[in-house]
Every structure is written in structure tokens, then in C-alpha cells.
Amino acid sequence: MKIKEIKLEELDPEKFIEEKVREISSIVGNNIAINALSGGVDSSVVTMLGHKALGNRLKTYFIDNGLMRENEPKHIVSLFKKLGVKVRLVNAKEVFFKRLKGLRKPEEKREAITKAFYKDVFAQLIRKTNARYLLQGTNYTDVEETVRGIKRQHNILEQLGIDTEKEYGYKIIEPLIQLRKPAIRKIAEALGLPEEICNRQPFPGPALAARIIGEVTKEKVKIIRKATKIVEEELSNIKAFQYFPVLHEDKVTGIRNGKREYGFQIEVRCWNSKDAKTASPTRIPYKILERLAERLTQEIKNVVSVTYNITKKPPSTIEAL
């Protein structure tokens, strides 16, 4: 791989910040750049670096793709307002659902999401603002896994031979491409980002769509959003790298109030990992698993089965898609 990793032990956060601010400033010059903030640690760090380098010439957007967790869009916009960063909320829900309609295969769904972001939403924002650059938080693991063909990460373009200027009309700047997650968290701390952001669990670019097997519909997003809230509440005290539910496509037979119910299955995953390269399931106390099963089947209509994934990565991946 052409890109060289900067290892956590070699990282000098202050020096890195200084260098990246200088680099962004010199590339963008007097032009305008845009970036999309999701509230994850990667895009939050890029937002802060970009604002240090460009001030008002960086326009930051939160893209509401209809696939985010409950309250996430408003919460992140208001959190960054407190940090002095104006974030504009873009309602792009229909764009994403339209692109995803009828698609069932994982890689097709990922490609549809990439197109919705880059061809539809970002290209339109670039035209509107006259910007020439898009800043984004691609990290070293994203590139590595895409290049190795493990999974096409939603934000990988250049490494797949896509010329974004030709294809979409703008250039991409990726200040975090040499870092893995733990190093990015260190930069987040050095930038003074709040604890909630520095230690936020990873959330994939394709968002809740990465957690729905088969076609992504509004009805299924509602189910997985509710399930995500329950899993996050119940597992918030577990020390883990990442935890979330997955909604299965196949329905199974259940029984409720003495009547047969053909319903949904939810799989819970909760990972220990350092950098997402390898991972193992955490040993959640059985009591918590039982409570999860109870809440997921009682609070979400039509869920009749809950399972816990006990597979390591590899051969599993962290997300189901």
C-alpha cells in the first residue's frame, strides 16, 4: 500500500495538528471547502482541523440520510454549536431511500450509499457553495480493508481508481488517512473535543443500513433505530469497542399471547477490539443478555427472536454488511 501508517507510538499530536492545518490551508488557498460531519470521532477531528485552517471558508454539513440513530442529527448540530462551529443540517432522506430501493446485496447497498453521498448530496453542495474541495475523515483501516477487498468502505474512492474531480467535480482532502482509530482519538483529545466525541464508539458511514440485512426500507430502519437505542442503553456500562443490533431478513415463527407470530429476528453484537482489525465478542453477563431479549421483544412490535453473536473477527467482520 502506498500510504504509510503513522503508529500511535510515533504520533506527536500537537505536531500532527500543526502540520495538517498548514497542509489544508495551502491546498485550499483562497478557495472554499465543504465537509460532512456525522459526529463520529473521525469527521469531528476533520471538522476541527478544517476550521482551524480555513475558518469560515469551510462549510460543515450534517447529512441526515434517514439512517442515523435517534436524535443524532439535532444532538450533533447543537454540540458543535457549543464548540463554536456552525453545522448546517441537510435533509437528504429521500435521496438515500431512493438509491437503496430494491437493493439487497451488501456491496450494491454500499455502492448506492456512496453514490447518494458523493454524486447527489456533496456534488449539489459543491455547486451551491462554489467549493472545490471536500474534506473527509478516511482512516488507515478503511483504506487497508478496501484495498484488500474485505469490504468497500463508503468513503474510499481514490484508492479504487476513482478520479473524484472528473467523476464528481471536486477534489478530496483526507488528513487522517495515515492514522488508525486510537491515534485519531488522541488527536481529538489534543484538539479539546469533548469526552463524548473522543470516546464515541465507531458508527459506519452507511449508518443503520449496515445493520439491516436485505432491502433497506423505512419500516426496517424504524425497527433497527429502536433496537439500537435499547442496545446502547443496556450495554452502556460494558467496556467494549462497539455494540449494536442487526436486523435479519428471514422471519421466524414465534408465539405471543398464545398466538403464533411470524416475526423479526435481532442479532446483538458487542466487540472487544483495539483498532477494528481483529475483534472478539465480549463476555456479557447472562442477566444483561436476558434483559436485552426481554426489552427487544416487548418494546419493538413483531420481534420474536434475539441472538448474541459469539464469533471472532476474522472470520466475522464487525458489521454484518
Cα 80–Cα 85–Cα 91 angle in degrees, nearest 5: 70
CB of 234 to ligand XMP, least distance (A): 19
CB of 160 to ligand XMP, least distance (A): 13
Q: Which residue has the cell 449508518?
A: 207
Stretch that binds ligand XMP, among 8-16, 203-211, 252-260, 303-311 (CB under 6 A): 203-211
Listed residue (69, 68, 85) closest to 77, CA to CA: 85
CA distance to 43, 142, 200, per residue, from 196 (Å): 14, 22, 6
* Three-class DSSP category at 291: helix
CB of 200 to ligand XMP, least distance (A): 11
Q: Is 309 an interacting residue with respect to ligand XMP (CB under 6 A)?
A: no
Q: Is 205 an interacting residue with respect to ligand XMP (CB under 6 A)?
A: yes
Residues 275-294: x where in contact with ligand XMP by CB under 6 A, - otherwise, as a string? -x------------------
Q: Is 106 an interacting residue with respect to ligand XMP (CB under 6 A)?
A: no
CB of 154 to ligand XMP, least distance (A): 4
CB of 67 to ligand XMP, least distance (A): 12
Which residues 210-229 are close enough to bind ligand XMP by CB under 6 A? 210
- Residue 117 C-alpha cell reads as 453521498
Residues 146-185: x where in contact with ligand XMP by CB under 6 A, - otherwise, as a string? -----x-xxx------------------------------
Query: With contacts defined by CB under 6 A, how many residues of the chain interact with ligand XMP?
Result: 16
Q: Is 206 an interacting residue with respect to ligand XMP (CB under 6 A)?
A: yes
Cβ closest to ligand XMP, residue 292 vs residue 318: 318
CB of 15 to ligand XMP, least distance (A): 26
Distance CA 191, CA 81 (A): 16
Cβ closest to ligand XMP, residue 72 vs residue 297: 72
Cβ closest to ligand XMP, residue 55 vs residue 315: 315
Listed residue (57, 72, 67, 61) closest to 24, CA to CA: 57
Instruction: Yes or no: say if 240 and 75 are a contact pair by the CB < 8 Å rule.
Output: no
Q: Mark out the alpha helices in 30-105 (DSSP H runs).
A: 41-54, 72-82, 93-100
Instruction: Yes or no: say if 226 and 244 are a contact pair by the CB < 8 Å rule.
Output: no
CB of 206 to ligand XMP, least distance (A): 5
Q: Which of 39, 73, 175, 202 binds ligand XMP (CB under 6 A)?
A: 202
Give the largest Cα separation in the chain, rounded. 69
| 93: number of Cβ within 10 Å | 16
Element at 189 (helix H, strand E): helix 181-190
| 201: number of Cβ within 10 Å | 15
Query: Which residues make up the interface to ligand XMP (CB under 6 A)?
Result: 145, 151, 153-155, 202, 204-206, 210, 242, 276, 313, 317-319
